[in-house]
A and B are shown apart, each in its own frame.
Chain A
């Protein structure tokens, strides 16, 4: 992406020269077929620092660069969690990043209302984002990456559980997680409240997020959170406990984009549209597997995928 910067600078200088010659310093008018009239812009794209989010980030970047006059700066693709990305988006330091509806609803908007319907949570989040932040939440990409609580099949049999509501009755449980899982409202804290689990009464095993599954597999704890489209999940045969009180909201993957940017450059919207609604859980999991286990570069995987489905 950085190699495009030189081209952009040359182009901008050239255009500035044109304006001086024409004696005109106004911004070009923006209308329905503004694609041809849009001034090349460098889109600041970011993502959370893990495989799926980065792959989705690169997909957006590649589509925008291929189908519009704009370039994309992906230097912040490894930026950080929602807590960093959202404020940066609101303040304009970044223009776009991939997010999840459930996270938007519970973490960003701080809503406590439990919504189980995917469409409903998307629409309500989308409307609130527009109203509160002037951020556009684009249509869902097509899959959910939900949180779930998992145990090994052996432990499930030992404890005789199948639902989260049964956990409250089991003393001395050990939860595996990292700092985020023990502090996010849509993870252990909120879960404990909904299901009546005393967080002071449980044991904590804190490991890096990339070791959750290994730690569970080795019996370091009784349960862990899992991310339903994780590539590495496929190495194990974990059992997911039923969320019988519907604590976890849906988590549809979406792109959130600064309203100002889409208004000015509608071609960005057009470039991303063909991708929306087309990626299912199976596909995303496999792409994640290639990045997480085979250690393929997320940008390569994003490019190969878009080429294979004819979007690039």
Chain B
């Protein structure tokens, strides 16, 4: 299934004099994805970002936004149609948050009668309370102000957002909250986001795909798992040790859920001829409502496949299907187990996650 491409760079070069700060960079960003640009200081990631909305004009190559060459677009329309979020929030200090948002809405010629609703909508989208609208910028924390910055960038409803280290100036806890907020936001509004950061953890957490730049060149491009599997020495050094677990921390166990576990109802016998049983050590017992009562090792079954109720082992503490693989592995280690049952939000048994399935993740493409 081909997805629409929102932003595309083709052999883009940026030169200052003879110095190539961006050197033949090519990539495309699909509609609705979060594409992260990362690399060491001076690698050209911010320059690359700023060429998309032409804050910096490129020297050669093509940059396309929604299929159109940016140099053929009116720069004012281009600039206004792409949201741009940096660390600087730039709120007018003597206006309330509501007035600040209204200011931007008025400039975008938003219909006057809808401005109040739109301001409220935007505030809620970024995870702030309605009563924040009446406050002045100085009354808000750094993290709250940054959320307002995102709200203002979304005011004109751009399809594309460019973000340049927007969470760099806040403390790690706030940064984590803002990252979570961004992910949550993406679930509902699905913007195409190009995000620059120097923080690899942040890249793994929020990026659907990551591009690693070095001295102006794109040296690695792929999903977090693909990046982690890279053989390139520079990339391995750059992402550092423990990167695999950082990626595991961003993958929910639902990705490696074993749904097809052998099940037996509490009043039935196990069919010992079933081929499926060859791959399993345990059978899971469910009642008439589908709730899992526990499990029985195959070795504890009678010769005819029946079992005694007292042979049913209680389920170990379950993990939720949205728990990260990293946390699930930790739980297994703490419990001395190699598997855990998985339940959904309603505590319904969904299957199990096994330690050995983590290896399967290394073969998966994309997330």
Contacts and interface: CB of A to CB of B under 8 A. Distances in A.
Q: Do A and B bind each other?
A: yes
Interface of A: 154, 214-215, 218-220, 231, 234-235, 280, 282-283, 285-287, 289-290, 293-296, 300-301, 304-305, 307-309
Contact of A154 (B16, B21, B41): B41
Contacts of B103: 304-305, 308
Contacts of B107: 290, 294, 296, 300-301, 304
B303 interface: no
Contacts of A154: 41
B91 A286 contact: yes
B16 A215 contact: yes
Interface residues of B, number: 29
Contacts of B42: 219
Contacts of A290: 107
B93 interface: yes
Given A294-B80, A295-B79, A309-B94, 14 more contacts: A218-B21, A218-B47, A219-B19, A220-B17, A234-B86, A234-B90, A280-B93, A283-B94, A286-B90, A286-B91, A295-B76, A295-B80, A296-B80, A308-B102
Given A295-B75, A295-B76, A308 B88 contact: no
Nearest to A301: B107
B164 interface: yes
Contacts, number: 63
B55 A235 contact: yes
A307 B79 CA distance: 24
Contacts of B47: 218
Contact of B56 (A214, A282, A300): A214
Interface of A is mostly: helix
Contact of A285 (B80, B90, B94, B99): B90
A63 to B, nearest CB: 18
A14 to B, nearest CB: 35
- Determine chain B's interface SS by DSSP, over half rule: mixed
Contacts of B79: 293-295
7 contacts: A218-B16, A219-B42, A282-B92, A283-B94, A287-B92, A290-B107, A304-B107
B92 A308 contact: yes
Nearest to B164: A235
B295 interface: no
B362 interface: no
B88 A283 contact: no
A283 B41 contact: no
Nearest to A300: B107
Closest 6 CB pairs of A and B: A234-B88, A286-B90, A295-B79, A295-B76, A218-B16, A289-B90
Contacts of B86: 234-235
Residue from the set A285, A286, A294 with the largest chain B CB neighbour count within 10 Å: A294
A283 B92 contact: yes
Contacts of B93: 280, 282-283
Contacts of B99: 308
Nearest to A307: B106
B84 interface: yes
Contacts of A215: 16
B21 A293 contact: no
A51 to B, nearest CB: 13
B219 interface: no
A296 B88 CA distance: 18
B95 interface: yes
Contact of A220 (B16, B55, B76, B90): B16
Interface in B78-113: 79-80, 84, 86, 88, 90-95, 99, 102-103, 106-107
Contacts of A218: 16, 19, 21, 47
Nearest to B102: A308
A308 B95 contact: yes
B301 to A, nearest CB: 68
Nearest to A287: B92
Interface in B7-43: 16-17, 19, 21, 41-42
A82 B50 CA distance: 32
Contacts of A214: 56
Contacts of A308: 92, 95, 99, 102-103
Given A283-B92, A308-B99, A293 B16 contact: no
